[in-house]
Structure 1
Amino acid sequence: MSDAPVSRRVYKFAVFALAIGAFAIGVTEFATMGLLPHIARELGITVPQAGHAVSFYAIGVVVGAPLITTIAAHMDRKLLLLCLMGLFALGNLASMLAPDATLFNIARFFSGLPHGAYLGVGAIVASSLVAPHRRGRAMARVMLGLTIANIVGVPIATALGNMFGWRSAYALVAALGVLTVIMVAVAVPKVKLAGVPSARGEMKALGRQQIILTLVAGSVGFGGMFAVYTYVTPTMTDVAGVPQVAIPWVLAVYGLGMTAGSLIAGPLVDKSIERSGIGGMILSAIVLAAFGAFTHIAAIAIIALFLIGIAGSMITTALQMRLLRDSHDAPSLSAAMNHAAFNLANALGAWLGGIVITAGLGYRAPAWVGVGLCLLGLIVLIIAIALRRGDASNRSTVEV
């Protein structure tokens, strides 16, 4: 995009500004799970019904990621980022003010629309500010905002919700959105668009077999984690016997697992993208089964949440690298669609988890739904790997 790398000071300031937006997105996406009982009580609905807000946000991401990224393909990147974060702030302000469940769900949908496009475009902008050999690091530092959100932001938002009511958490996120708009306006330099593919070209790239299968594997396989995490607060309080005041610390444990997983996933993916993806799916299924079987033992349930975080980072990193490898000619849209895929998993997991709880199967049941989703995702991923190897073998035969 840009012709040459910017100074180190400008780069650091710009990446920090972009990471604040990623932090805000991470907080609003995951804090809702910790606040479901409070939301349900005030809005006069059940916890599974409150869980629909998680699905509506995720559907917003799924709709917004390809739509906004494609429509705004030729828009100035900095202006696009400002518009996206402005919409994000307004959506969370509307969430805070929503008087009933219907309007709350609508507000969550609009809050999710800019999610994938912001993270995708923000990562590409960050990578354009440095030399080619440092671009992966630049993208990772923007995404670090998501990881830190799970360690620090989500527990703080949950604690605020416990003390001052759930609306205060969305007020915090809206304020973070406004701060991001200011920071991006001041810190992020304008970048030149070069070689931007047409909307038709980007969509054509995403129509490839391997990209579709990777997105499906993520949409299904990662849903296992969300089936459990969406209802983690009532599960830990009602089944594991963890006090409500300790829930922010439980959520921080999951965030630490995601961080550890990110550190582990990097070297593993460098060695083998395919084995890392398969390993993450298998680990996730095993740990979710352990969570379902031993939820009543708080210590084991908390350790399982830590391991679920590790497995989740392994899956997301491996599938993101798979997408980048197979859609190098549509980087912005593929990055946005990766977030869309995982938010489709969010919607699917939250919905299926709510169904089994509503059916009277209890708060352990979502873990077993999660196991099934992980195994389905694993099957799709294995099929994708087998087809890719078959194509490579056929090309080698033709060349010989």
Structure 2
Amino acid sequence: MNLTQSVNKKQTIKEPFPISILSLTVGAFAIGMTEFVIMGLLPNVAEDLHVSIPTAGQLITMYALGVAIGAPILTILTQRIPQKKLLCLLMILFILGNGISVFAPTYEILMGARIITALTHGTFFGVGAVIASNLVPQNRRAAAVSIMMAGLTIANIIGVPLGTFIGQRMGWRASFAMIAIIGVVALIGILIFIPRIRQDQPASLAQQISSLIQPKLLLYLLIGALGNAGLFAVFTYIAPLLVQVSGFAEHSVTWILVLFGCGVTIGNIVGGRLADWKLTPSLLGLYFAICIILTIFTFTVHHPIAAVLTIFLWGVASFAVMPGLQVRIMSLAQTAPALASTSSHSAGNLGNAGGAFIGGWVITHLGITSLPWVGALLVGMGLIIAIACYISERKHAAA
């Protein structure tokens, strides 16, 4: 390496990320809060709106379906809107949805408000990932996406516990009021800091759909869905697993989940760096690591200290995959990167729902201690498909 190359490399490393990406991080933080905070407030919501807890739980299910089904449709319908303006409109819709939640007099109105906010979720992350990757040099795209996605992971560490605390003491509506205020802060940040990025003429609807349904991209969406299914097959039932098998008291589970969230945040940042270094090899290595960690968890779950350490490492590896997978999917759909990025969140949410369903089936038919190795099998299926894709790409490049 000559002196000029060395100096250029150092300048690239030292160059800070644009502050505009942080406004996307704040938006991601608010969206992460509104998705997950209701889990800790279900009893309060059910009591206030005079419905059963299982009925209140449908507020979570419908949100996930709203992300999975509505996000790609909304992205297609808004393709001709400039990206900065679209982000602003999405945050206004997000603020509106949470504002309605604050005053919702009935369960049905609250459900409608949740669906409104769900529609903004996938499209915000899809368009936000495209913008973040365009604000930095080519060799830092995955790291930029990971900075934006960090808002989602930090929401699980700080936002959700804080929102639950406020909701339990001041009423669940106060939590949604706080989320709406954070949404306003994100909107102001987007208005001030996000530049107007020149966009090429948007592809036609037929071109976008054709780009999305190419076999290789669909396989990577399936890889992401299987990875999420393996994660949520175990994570959905982590509390009973820790209490019934590891022997922890219920109040200890919260702190273990905070530790998991710390691992998630670290993994998200590290994963962005790894993906910028070696994209596909890092994805393969991380999927393999998740398989190993979940297999080990089958045994360490019976030993409290070992279980906590395994859960932390699992959080690191599971979310280190996300930035690289997002960038890989966007790169495969060059004529429709926003739609592809949004679709990856849809596939992920379908994986979340599928994993939770599979986990419930496993508990019923195989026992709760079988969850980790079944999760490893699901991730392993994604790894096998990823290896097949990698081998095919290498052969194609060689030819």
What TM-score range do you get, normalising by the shorter chain?
Answer: 0.7 to 0.9
Q: 1:81·1:121 contact (CA, 8 Å) conserved in 2?
A: yes
Match of 2:79 among 55, 62, 73: 73
Distance 1:376 1:39 in 2: 38
Partner residue of 2:334 out of 317, 321, 328: 328
Matched-pair contact (CA < 8 Å) for 2:36–2:160: yes
Question: Is residue 373 of structure 1 aligned with residue 388 of structure 2?
Answer: no
**Which amino acid counterpart does residue 115 of structure 1 have in structure 2?**
H
From 203, 213, 218, give the equivalent of 1:207. 213
Give, in angstroms, the shift of residue 22 of structure 1. Answer: 0.8
CA distance in 1, matches of 2:304, 2:195: 48
In structure 1, C-alpha distance between the alignment counterparts of 2:238 and 2:248, rounded to whole Å: 11
Matching residue within 344, 347, 355 for 1:349: 355
Whole-angstrom CA distance in 1 between matches of 2:281 and 2:164: 36
CA contact (8 A) 2:98 2:117 kept: yes
Match in the other structure for 1:216: 222
Is the 2:291–2:380 Cα contact (8 Å) retained in structure 1?
Answer: yes
Residues 85/269 of structure 1: CA separation in 2 closer, same or farther (3 Å cut): same
What is the TM-score with the length of structure 2 in the denominator? 0.81
In structure 1, what is the equivalent of residue 12 of structure 2?
none
Distance, in Å, in 2 between the alignment partners of 1:295 and 1:164 is 36
Q: What is aligned with 1:86?
A: 92
Q: Residue deviations 1:191-242, cap 9 Å, x none?
A: 4433432232222211222111000111122211122222334444454444
* Corresponding residue of 2:265: 259
In structure 2, the CA distance between the partners of 1:288 and 1:246, relative to structure 1 (3 Å rule), is same
Mapped contact 1:10–1:187 kept (Cα < 8 A): no
| Equivalent position SS for 1:315 | helix
Residues 372/392 of structure 1: CA separation in 2 closer, same or farther (3 Å cut): same
Contiguous gaps of at least 5 residues in structure 2: 1-14
Q: 1:124 aligns with which of 122, 125, 130?
A: 130
Deviation at 1:319, TM superposition (A): 2.0
1:26 aligns with 2:32: yes
Q: CA deviation at 1:348?
A: 1.4
User: Helix, strand or coil: the match of 1:114?
Assistant: helix
Q: Which is worse superposed, 267-276 or 58-67? A: 267-276
Quick check: 2:229–2:351 contact (8 Å CA) kept in 1?
yes
- Preserved contact between residue 224 and residue 382 of structure 2 (Cα < 8 Å): yes
Q: 1:386, 1:130 → 2: CA distance?
A: 30
Q: TM-score, normalising length from structure 1?
A: 0.81
User: CA–CA distance in 1 between the matches of 2:253 and 2:218?
Assistant: 37
How far apart in 2 are the matches of 1:296 and 1:45?
A: 30
The equivalent residue for 1:146 is 152
- Which residue number in structure 1 is paired with residue 52 of structure 2? 44
1:188 correspondence with 2:190: no
Aligned partners of 1:73 and 1:198 also within 8 Å: no
Name the residue aligned to 1:305: 311
- Identify which of 238, 242, 248 aligns with 1:232: 238
Bigger shift: residues 56-65 or 362-371: 362-371
Q: Which range is displaced more, 373-382 or 84-93?
A: 84-93
CA distance in 1, matches of 2:265, 2:271: 10
Q: Aligned partners of 1:218 and 1:254: how far apart in 2?
A: 20
Q: Which residue of 2 aligns with 1:4?
A: none
Does the CA-based 8 Å contact 1:225-1:284 persist in structure 2?
no
> Is the contact made by 2:141 and 2:327 (CA closer than 8 Å) also made in structure 1?
no
SS of residue in 1 equivalent to 2:53: coil
Counterpart in the other structure of 1:284: 290
Distance in 2, Cα, partners of 1:350 & 1:146? 20
Q: CA RMSD in A?
A: 3.4
AA at the equivalent of 1:387: S
Please name the residue that 1:249 is paired with.
255
Amino acid at match of 2:286: G
The 3 A distance-change label for structure 1 pair 92 and 214 is same
- Secondary structure of 1:372 counterpart: helix
Distance 2:312 2:135 in 1: 34
Query: Within 1, Cα distance between the matches of 2:347 and 2:150?
Result: 19
CA contact (8 A) 1:214 1:381 kept: yes
- Give the alignment partner of residue 280 of structure 2, picking from 267, 270, 274: 274
Q: Match of 2:128, SS? A: helix
Contact 2:228 2:348 (C-alpha < 8 Å) held by counterparts: yes
Match of 1:3 in 2: none
Gaps of 5+ in 1: 1-7
Query: Quick check: 240-249 or 146-155, which moved more?
Result: 240-249
The worse-fitting range, judged by mean Cα deviation, of 215-224 and 185-194 is: 185-194
CA offsets per residue over residues 304-340 of structure 1, 9 Å max, x none? 2212211212322332232233223322222222222
* Alpha-carbon spacing, 1:360–1:137, altered in 2? closer, same or farther (3 Å): closer
Q: Report the identity percentage.
A: 37
Contact 1:66 1:337 in 2 (8 A): yes
Distance 1:158 1:275, change over 3 A: farther
Instruction: Please give the per-residue CA displacement for 1:339-378, whole angstroms capped at 9, x wherever unaligned.
Output: 2222221121223234445x37665454344233212222
Name the CA distance, whole Å, in 2 between partners of 1:90 and 1:268.
38
TM-superposed CA distance for 1:283, in Å, is: 2.3
Summarize the Cα distance change of 1:383–1:68 in structure 2 as closer, same or farther, 3 Å threshold: same
